[in-house]
Amino acid sequence: MQVNPSNNRISKTLLNLLKTKLSLTEDGVNKKLKSFRKKRGFDVTREDAALLLASLNDIDITKFADATKLKEIRELKNKEYKVDKTKTKKVEVSRTLKLKDISIISKEPFTPKKLLSDAKEMSEYYTLLYALENTLRNLIRYVFKNEPNYWKSKVNEKIREDVKFIMSKEKYFEEGRADELEYTHLDYLKQIITSNWAVFSQELNERDKTNFMREVEKFTPSRHAIAHTTKLKGLDADRCRYRFEEIMKMIK
């Protein structure tokens, strides 16, 4: 898409919606738009960046663009959102997927070549989920490092009972676990942090509990898709990367 230098105006209403949705000042929104465009190599106008950012944050943009522009934004949304400046190589469809000392061989129709290709692509998202949940676990351990009984005193009873039940049924094979946190998932980690917000906010760049909760909750659909081995693609894949970055930015 060719960028028209004069095409930089953003509807005041749209700007206000972005300010509210992202809990930012007008200057904050402008900085985010600049960063948003920079990550895409400045191949979109400021206006299109605002429309795309709004759409990714579930703001209805149909009032701010005509049919042609909406089509352009949809096309932008379908492009891969890049975590870094390098271009992701297209995964070659192969009959064999090699993982260190094990090879998965395609067997039609149950393990088709497409499944192996999808598995390679999904490895990126498994990495994001692994990094995110374990980062939050380590954050909790760090904040409560001087409180040996925090699991009982700082974690609500429902989470403790659920974890106790999971541990009684299956302890994740024979490998020892560091603590009960290894049996918690994203929603539990969010609850532990937000219910002790006064202490956790000191270790975060985000001081607004509602904003933190909102960003984690927006990542939750991606979390469930990854955990249940459902392929992420298109806008869902874009959102997963974007939400991951937004949450990680909150942590010092």
Q: Average of pLDDT values for 130-154?
A: 96
Q: What is the pLDDT of residues 19-62, one digit of tens each?
A: 888 888 888 888 888 887 887 777 788 888 888 888 888 788 88
Distance (Å, whole) CA 4 – CA 91: 34
Give the lowest-confidence range in 34-43, 93-102, 201-210. 93-102
Q: Average of pLDDT values for 127-154?
A: 96
Task: Give the count of alpha carbons within 13 A of 108, CB side only.
Answer: 4
Q: What is the pLDDT of residues 109-118, one digit of tens each?
A: 999 999 999 9
Please state the domain extents for the chain: 12-78, 114-249
pTM for the structure as a whole: 0.65
**CB under 8 Å to 242, separation ≥6 — which residues?**
56, 81
Rg (CA), the chain: 21
> Hey, how many other C-beta atoms are within 10 angstroms of the C-beta on 35?
11
